[in-house]
Structure 1
Amino acid sequence: MVNYLSNEQIAEMMRQLTRARIENFLGQYIGTWRWWVLIILLIVPWFIWYKLVDKKRILEVTLFGVIIMIFTITLDEIGFVLSLWSYPVEVIPILPRLTSIDYTMLPIIFMLVYQYFSTWKSFLRALVVLSTVFSFVAEPIVVYFGFYILIKWLYWYSFPIYIVMGVLSRWIVKTLIDIERKS
């Protein structure tokens, strides 16, 4: 007979893990150069985005970015929980993801691609270039500097995911705009 852990036992294990992560964060990472880089990457790009975003399309572009953010956070959480990768340095230890990338860098860069490449053809081309750069340049750099540890993941797995995220997000936004215009 298999003895399964109770929900209370699992919750206690989660509390212990969270406590350990917070202690590790406070003892090893807060205030380090990598932590400061993440803080800067979390905040500064939003000011740049505000300067570059087309204010006439700000709701549309932002909706696209929020959808990208939802995909990114969800996929990042799944990958983290399944131990496909981990993040030794975090902005906030209770969020087990690379917050600066999930909440800022990816959404902003995707939003700018969405804004500047308005046809499906140009958007897809830009998306392939963006996915290539993210998968085979940015991710290895982030790994090299110790922000991201690959466990059961390869860079090329990310390539189609970035493309699918962009295509689905654009399709959702365009579909919602069409629905709004028809009503």
Structure 2
Amino acid sequence: MNYPSDEQLAEMMRQLTQARIENFLGQHIGTWRWWVLVILLIAPWFIWYKLVDKKRILEVTLFGVIIMVFTITLDEMGFVLSLWSYPVEVIPILSRLTSIDYTMLPIIFMLVYQYFSTWKRFLGALVVLSTVFSFVAEPIVVYFGFYVLLKWLYWYSFPIYIIMGSLARWIVKRLIDIERKG
């Protein structure tokens, strides 16, 4: 079998990146969708700063960064596997919905983490959050053309949000226990 070389793959990636940049500059930058994504990337951080418990800011931020790592990783995997795509991006060299991965999901998860301190309450809030994200927010984002489902269904996202939040909380709580014992 004739496999593409590393150099051929790099050239294909360069051509794809160039095409994405040209598409972005010709069709998306400055459109209302692009401006919505820019606002959603920046503005929620000001709200978060007002709401975050400053006494727990490191803990809450660590939780948010873990959520961000999960969302970016999962989003990249889904994009590369052609499970979904994003017609409009804030930055054309990133193949993900940066406003959601870097801002909206981490901030909302951080606020849930902050306000629901016991596992029972946190898991209940995660179920509600996962329901809203999977069956309300995602369809709205699809409807307005920010997100295109290729080989993905909304209900696939539901357990992922719950697992992601639970795992992030477990990691943070474990690190806090290690620090206290240390």
User: Same-fold call, TM > 0.5?
Assistant: yes
Alpha-carbon shift at residue 96 of structure 1 (Å): 0.5
TM-score (norm 2): 1.00
- The CA distance in 1 between the partners of 2:116 and 2:92, in whole Å, is 36
2:87 — aligned with what?
A: 88
Q: Report SS of the residue matched to 2:4.
A: coil
Q: Which string of whole-angstrom CA distances, capped at 9 and with x for unpartnered residues, describes residues 101-149 of structure 1?
A: 0000000000000000000000000000000000000000000000000
Q: Which string of whole-angstrom CA distances, capped at 9 and with x for unpartnered residues, describes residues 16-53 of structure 1?
A: 00000000000000000000000000000000000000
Alpha-carbon shift at residue 54 of structure 1 (Å): 0.2
Residue pairs, 1:121-136, within 5 angstroms:
121-136=120-135
2:115 — aligned with what?
A: 116
Q: Structure 2: give runs of 5+ residues left out of the alignment.
A: none
1:21 — aligned with what?
A: 20
| Pair 1:146-2:156 in alignment | no
Q: Which amino acid aligns with 2:68?
A: M
- The CA distance in 1 between the partners of 2:174 and 2:3, in whole Å, is 45
2:161 — aligned with what?
A: 162
2:60 — aligned with what?
A: 61
Q: Which amino acid aligns with 1:81?
A: V
- The CA distance in 2 between the partners of 1:172 and 1:141, in whole Å, is 31
Q: Which amino acid aligns with 2:108?
A: I
2:10 — aligned with what?
A: 11
1:77 — aligned with what?
A: 76
- The CA distance in 2 between the partners of 1:117 and 1:109, in whole Å, is 12
Residue pairs, 1:89-104, within 5 angstroms:
89-104=88-103
2:172 — aligned with what?
A: 173
Q: Which string of whole-angstrom CA distances, capped at 9 and with x for unpartnered residues, describes residues 138-169 of structure 1?
A: 00000000000000000000000000000000
Could you list the runs of 4 or more consecutive aligned residues of structure 1 that deviate by over 4 angstroms after TM superposition? none
2:106 — aligned with what?
A: 107
1:45 — aligned with what?
A: 44
Q: Which amino acid aligns with 1:39?
A: V
Identical aligned residues as a percent: 89
Alpha-carbon shift at residue 100 of structure 1 (Å): 0.1
Q: Report SS of the residue matched to 1:16.
A: helix
- The CA distance in 2 between the partners of 1:54 and 1:79, in whole Å, is 33
TM-score (norm 1): 0.99
